[in-house]
């Protein structure tokens, strides 16, 4: 069982020990409370806060530590942010434009009934995806399937975007812990014509592929609710594909039942005649 001192240990003490600590609890809470926040005010973050966030990306793992990620931080070029916002809206309208309202109801369950139609409309006309223009930093995240810094020339195709994603999540969690809004936008990089255009505009060479615009800014308001996740057994199997992982809470139900004291038989009352 976890002792109180262990539960309160700091991060550096934690690496010396095993098991759950205060740092674990805080980290788990951060992970659970992280949300995509797409409404940003357009204000700037303090430079040192942004740098702390960017720095977290460096610590992500990569195959043989090749660090095949590059991030273009667009902060001052408002025109470029607007171009990315325009492309995002156009691409999102193409994706969501003919989504029937009914199809969104399950996904948007967490929104109050009154605001659901207008948010749905923002999704359909793509305006919800204009947020890069209100972000302080629009980080164009680039992956490479060809860039190697290792003697082992194994195929990178499963690694390029994975390492970028790991870096992004590091940044996202640090930014979230500081109360900043983040959202991850792939829609401007779906259509090859948009990719070419953006690469030309910001000088990304052919060996690198932009995969997302990760946006960081000041939130209009905090966001608590969002799409829910499946329970563990919805995503994890036990030992073999298709056998649902069983949560601790539901394990050994039979064993528990059999351990329960057998009910004492009621003595039959003697019926007086």
Ligand X SMILES: Cc1cc2nc3c(=O)[nH]c(=O)nc-3n(C[C@H](O)[C@H](O)[C@H](O)COP(=O)(O)O)c2cc1C
By the rule CB under 6 A, 38 interacts with ligand X: yes
Binding ligand X by CB under 6 A: which of 21, 35, 175, 216? Answer: 35
Residues in region 176-205 near ligand X by CB under 6 A: 183-187
Q: How many residues bind ligand X (CB under 6 A)?
A: 11
Residue 143 β-bridge partners: 69, 209
Binding ligand X by CB under 6 A: which of 36, 41, 127, 177? Answer: 36
When the beta carbons of 229 and 259 are compared against ligand X, the nearer one is 229
- The nearest distance, CB 256 to ligand X, in angstroms, is 34
By the rule CB under 6 A, 127 interacts with ligand X: no
By the rule CB under 6 A, 147 interacts with ligand X: no
Site string (87-126) toward ligand X, x via CB under 6 A: ----------------------------------------
Interacting residue ranges for ligand X, rule: CB under 6 A: 35-36, 38, 129, 183-187, 226-227
């Amino acid at each position: 069982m976890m002792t109180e001192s262990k539960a309160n240990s700091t991060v550096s003490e934690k690496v010396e020990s095993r098991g759950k600590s205060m740092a674990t609890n805080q980290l788990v809470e951060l992970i659970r409370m992280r949300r995509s926040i797409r409404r940003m005010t357009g204000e700037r973050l303090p430079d040192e806060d942004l740098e702390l966030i960017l720095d977290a990306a460096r610590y992500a793992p990569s195959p043989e530590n090749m660090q095949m990620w590059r991030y273009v931080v667009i902060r001052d070029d408002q025109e470029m942010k607007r171009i990315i916002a325009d492309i995002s809206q156009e691409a999102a309208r193409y994706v969501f434009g003919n989504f029937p309202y009914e199809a969104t109801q399950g996904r948007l369950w967490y929104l109050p009934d009154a605001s659901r139609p207008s948010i749905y409309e923002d999704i359909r006309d793509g305006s919800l995806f204009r947020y890069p223009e209100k972000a302080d930093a629009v980080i164009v995240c680039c992956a490479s399937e060809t860039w190697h810094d290792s003697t082992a020339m194994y195929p990178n195709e499963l690694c390029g975007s994975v390492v970028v994603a790991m870096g992004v999540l590091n940044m996202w969690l640090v930014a979230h812990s500081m109360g900043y809004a983040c959202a991850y936008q792939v829609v401007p990089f779906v259509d090859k014509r948009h990719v070419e255009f953006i690469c030309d505009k910001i000088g990304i060479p052919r060996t690198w592929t932009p995969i997302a615009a990760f946006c960081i800014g000041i939130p209009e308001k905090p966001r608590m609710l969002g799409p829910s996740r499946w329970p563990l057994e919805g995503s994890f199997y036990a030992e073999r594909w298709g056998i649902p992982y069983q949560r601790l809470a539901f394990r050994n139900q039979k064993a528990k039942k059999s351990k329960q004291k057998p009910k004492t038989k009621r003595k039959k009352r003697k019926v007086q005649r």
